[in-house]
Structure 1
Amino acid sequence: MDKRYTLEDLVEIIKRLRGEGGCPWDRVQTHASLREAMLEEAYEAVDAIDRKDTENLKEELGDVLLQVVFHAALEEDEGSFAIEDVIAGICKKMVYRHPHVFGDTKADTADEVLVNWEQLKKKEKHITTQSQAIKEIPMALPALLRARKVQKKAAEVGFDFPDARRAMEKVREEINELTEAIEGSLGTEEEEFGDFLFAVVNISRFFKINPEIALTKATKKFINRFEYVENSALSEGRKLSEMTLEEMDLLWDEAKAKSLSGQNPNN
């Protein structure tokens, strides 16, 4: 029977890897050097969730946990805090932010819970203005998600478009400004393109669409259709680099037609 390891075992393994006679790579790591790994492991866990791959999710959650324990170990070496403090902190936070379970606050719906959560979060972080709440949104978030969160925070105090139609008009306005910047070589193309993307994210909120997920699906669809175009060309003994754009567009239209008719389950 396989040994049943515990969180304490993982903590001890990391300590040994970082101790005298341990692993040269583990011993030189810092928060900064592990930053990308933290992001990658979180994304890989999300990917397993999206694919409904339970076995892979178990593995990826382990990788995420490793990152948490490793970062805590770095701080323990500096005498700042240990993994026990991390656990204590999140336990206290969960109890504090769930007074409807651990206290006498009333919250019968998920929406009421979220309202209470945000109020308690502001109190906990001493946030007194909505600008402060917006600035609390992490810079490291993917840009589309951060834009959505910023817009949502602004909307909480009524700073928002009245409806989706007005949000669509704003997108058209931004397209015109981007076109003017490009055609006039004004040097503001990047800024106007950013404004355009920000306006598009506004539309996603009105239709409760996660822009990050929507773009991920669109990218996947593009890859699948591009693969169809290339495979079709190869089946005729041709390379894409040898074809005209018009010829590739015809194959693209075939791929799109097959997708819409359900012949291509991967879209």
Structure 2
Amino acid sequence: MNQPFPSNESPFQGLRELIATLRGENGCPWDRKQTPESMRVYLVEEMYELLDALESDEPSAALEELGDVLFHVFFLSCMFEERGEFTAMDVAKANTEKMIARHPHVFGDDQAKTAEEVRARWHQFKKNQQKPKPEKRLLDAVPKSMPALMRAYRIIERASRVGVDRPPMGAGVDALDQKWAGLRQAFDSGDKETISEKLGPFLLELSGLSRQAGVHPENCLTRAANEFCRCFSHAEEELKEAGKDLEDVNPEEINRIIKKYEEEKP
């Protein structure tokens, strides 16, 4: 039998009650079966869908995907509440307190006039507030499950706080040229293992050089990938209008259309 759901609750309380119903004795078998461990993959998927929505610059898409991520926050919080550990309200309260403490220039007497000053003070505050953990190393705080390019950027950023940078400060593009020379030799050899050994460090150095320039390589690569998708899709549509299929066309013709589109687009 369908269960009635109260409609006079506040939106957040209503979402909390909805999840409690789904997880309840007469709720959804799938929802009841889930654990924090099983929900990890779904949370990652929702985060990527949210990033796509933000990239699209469509408010309605962002609204929907933010709602999905919010659902996951409440859903996971409900699981911990069932264990008697904490509630969604505890999560909100703890985060509010943390953000107030990390913004003494807004909620206290401290002063910070630039974004860089705020960032430096934030890192120092986090360092002071972190509870000592045995054998906790500087780079251990960077999640290993992060996408490789984002993780490389974050690792280099953290190492730079103690003066260790990649490439070394001042070396810049020259250091990258050296890595590129080794990589070219690896490609010339055709040995996959050698290419892999050289390509990884090159990408790491490139990520570090991006950080020194003040740009995030993840955003740069996303824009480049999106631009390639637009160009490729244009070529696909042009061929379709001509009654041709991609599989039946010479790659040179596809590249010609893409190059022409790149030269003509504003």
TM-score with structure 2 setting the length: 0.85
| Equivalent position to 1:22, from 18, 21, 27 | 27
- What per-residue deviation string (whole Å, max 9, x for no partner) do you get for residues 106-148 of structure 1? 32332222222111101111469xx833221222222212211
Cα separation, 2, equivalents of 1:152 and 1:118: 11
CA contact (8 A) 1:17 1:23 kept: yes
Aligned pairs (5 A) from 1:83-102: 83-102=88-107
Matches of 2:259 and 2:100, distance apart in 1: 55
Tell me the distance in 1 between the aligned counterparts of 2:250 and 2:190. 30
CA shift for structure 1 position 4? 6.3
Equivalent position to 2:121, from 107, 116, 141 = 116
Paired residue for 1:162?
A: 169
- The number of aligned residues is 255
Structure 1 stretch 189-198 or stretch 102-111: which is displaced more?
102-111
- Unaligned stretches of 5+ residues in structure 2: 1-6
The corresponding residue for 1:145 is 150
> Could you tell me which residue of structure 2 aligns to residue 39 of structure 1?
44
1:80 corresponds, among 72, 78, 85, to: 85
Matches within 5 A, 1:179-258: 179-182=184-187, 183=189, 185=191, 187-258=193-264
Q: Does 1:71 align with 2:76?
A: yes
Distance in 1 between residues matched to 2:55 and 2:23, nearest whole Å: 34
The answer to which of 62-71 and 239-248 deviates more is 239-248
Check the 8 A contact 1:17/1:26 in 2, yes or no. yes
CA–CA separation in structure 1 for the residues paired with 2:61 and 2:10: 19
* Structure-2 separation of matches of 1:191 and 1:105: 47
Question: How many angstroms does 1:184 deviate by?
Answer: 6.0
Q: TM-score, normalised by structure 1?
A: 0.85
In structure 1, runs of 5+ residues without a counterpart are 263-267
Question: Could you tell me which amino acid in structure 2 is paired with residue 22 of structure 1?
Answer: G
Q: 1:236 to 1:49 in 2, by over 3 A?
A: closer
Q: CA deviation at 1:186?
A: 6.8
> Letter of the aligned partner of 1:123 in structure 2?
N
Q: 8 Å contact 1:122–1:133 — kept in the other structure?
A: no
Whole-Å Cα distance in 2 between the matches of residues 102 and 168 of structure 1? 42
Q: Is the 8 A contact 1:45 1:60 kept in 2?
A: yes
How far does residue 55 in structure 1 lie from its aligned partner after superposition?
2.7
Q: 1:229 to 1:149 in 2, by over 3 A?
A: same
Question: CA 1:120 to 1:156, structure 2 compared with 1: closer, same or farther past 3 Å?
Answer: same
Instruction: Go from structure 1 to structure 2 and tell me whether the alpha carbon gap of 1:132 and 1:231 turns closer, same or farther (over 3 Å shift).
Output: same
Q: What is the deviation of 1:42? A: 2.4
Q: Give the percent of matched residue pairs that are identical in Structure 1 and Structure 2.
A: 35
Distance 1:57 1:233, change over 3 A: closer
